[in-house]
Structure 1
Amino acid sequence: MSPPASYVATRWNRIVPLKVNINTWRVMNGRMATRSNLDRRGVDLDSVRCPLCDDGIETEDHIFVHCKVAKELWSDVLKWWRIPNVSFPFLQDLVHLADHTPLGEKFTKFFDVVVQTTIWSIWRYRNNVIFSAKKPSKNLIFNDIKMHSFNWIVSRGRKVSLNRIMWFDHPCNALSPFCTVI
């Protein structure tokens, strides 16, 4: 039996936890509990606007690609990895960003960890904005992305032991000795 027409295959990365892979699959297949999806399913909401920027309707495309919070985070991630001139106008381009960067094949799986971690972190931040009694700090998201991706690579990547300081400074330099292992 073939998958439904709306189904989009997702690359599963064994370095990230299952919940992060599932989150990415849900993002790509329009299965997130965004306000527009909830509204379409008949859930009565005060607003369908983005809770992070209030500049558009909260769809997967908006929250992960077009929202100003997401744009700032992706800019920070690309600067951190020293990736110039990469654009992703659509969600599918973003999810497969690791395949379209000038990093080289040996870094793809590791950069994919960062991409999936960023998507997961944006969703976590969004949920904290909506559901937490205390407003979360937007400034901490990028550090969380660095820390979570580092921890997952070190604990779940085979034979990878990274220097945390090098990782936070320049991930490609930190990964260079390990890129042929995975």
Structure 2
Amino acid sequence: MDNLERRRCNRLPTATCVLCHLAIETMDHLFFQCSFARHIWGYFTRLCQLPDAPRDRIAVWGDWRAAVRPTCRLTGDLIVKAIVWSIWLARNACIFNAITMSSDAILYKIDHLLLFWFSSAPEGTREKLDFATSAIHRSLEF
């Protein structure tokens, strides 16, 4: 939000997070601490049996990633990237196009994005993603 303000692109009257409206938007808030982001993280950490969600950008590639079982690191890495990318797109859609989406709609998009990425993985890598692929398929069927 500070960058938008400096560039005179901020159409909003405040620097409050557009996803939760509860705190000032910072990178750590937007991707890890916002109630919107926490809901998304909670879903994927439970679904794929990952450690509790990281609290900030330093932890995600440090302590949190180290706590992920080595056999699940590839899955964890892809989930982190999909969550951050999807939250960023949702935030920008809200700011620049006045489009708001529920966290459940974002979960659905992330599920499909991950399934696409998993199916695009090289043959030897796909087996490492089988558990997560199955879990996501089951959640979509539910």
Asked if Structure 1 and Structure 2 have the same fold, meaning a TM-score greater than 0.5 normalized by the shorter chain, the answer is yes
Identical residues among aligned pairs (%): 24
Distance 1:57 1:136, change over 3 A: same
Task: Quote the offset at 1:87 in angstroms.
Answer: 4.7
Q: Specify which structure has the higher proportion of helix.
A: 2
Pick the aligned partner of 2:66 from 88, 96, 100: 100
Does the alignment pair 1:141 with 2:106?
yes
> Gaps spanning 5+ residues in structure 2: where?
none
RMSD, aligned α-carbons: 2.8
Distance 2:73 2:133 in 1: 21
Pick the aligned partner of 1:132 from 97, 122, 136: 97
Task: Quote the offset at 1:110 in angstroms.
Answer: 2.2
The question of whether the paired residues in 1 share the 8 Å contact of 2:75 and 2:132 is answered with no
Question: Once the two structures are superposed, what CA deviation does each residue of 1:33-68 show, in whole Å capped at 9, x if it has no partner?
Answer: xx12333x3536321111111111111111011111
- 1:59 maps to 26
Distance 1:44 1:142 in 2: 28
TM-score normalised by length of structure 1: 0.62
Deviates more, 1:126-135 or 1:114-123: 126-135
Distance 1:82 1:164 in 2: 9
AA partner of residue 84 (structure 2): I
> Gaps spanning 5+ residues in structure 1: where?
1-34, 171-182
Does the alignment pair 1:109 with 2:77?
no
Structure 1: which 4+ aligned runs deviate by more than 4 Å? Answer: 95-98, 161-165
The question of whether the paired residues in 2 share the 8 Å contact of 1:65 and 1:94 is answered with no
Structure with max Cα Rg: 1
